[in-house]
Amino acid sequence: MNPLHIGLILLNTLMLVSGQFLWKFGLSRKADSFESLQSIIHLMFSPFILGGLFIYGLATVLWLFILNKVDISIAYPMQSIAYLITVIGAYYIFNEQMSVLKIAGCVVILIGVGMIGLSARYS
């Protein structure tokens, strides 16, 4: 796996996390998001929800390209870095709590992703 493939996997992961953040931000602005059919329809046409869907669509196209070039047993587990990015982003963007267990979990994920990346080099 070359550096371009690693960069594309990271870009894809960032796109997916960005889509999730847009959805979370859009939902946090609507207290009555799921109280009626009308509120659900209104929510679905929110710029944040539509933006997240658009980014997910682009990420899917990029993912198909990645799958054509990289073994899925390497590419998909490497996307686990999304958990780390999400925990850090949620802390800074949404003021969510950070705990020792979350940090430890992120370290374990990072070690696992590193091991999978190395396995691609040495197999």
Per-residue pLDDT of the chain (123 residues; tens, 9 = 90+): 789 999 999 999 999 999 999 999 998 877 677 778 888 888 889 999 999 999 999 999 999 999 999 999 889 998 999 999 999 999 999 999 999 999 999 999 999 988 887 887 776
Whole-structure pTM value: 0.86
User: Which residue pairs from 56-60 have beta carbons closer than 8 angstroms and sit at least 24 positions apart in sequence?
Assistant: 56/15, 56/16, 56/19, 58/15, 59/12, 59/15, 59/16, 59/19
The tens digit of pLDDT for each residue in 87-110 reads: 999 999 999 999 999 999 999 999
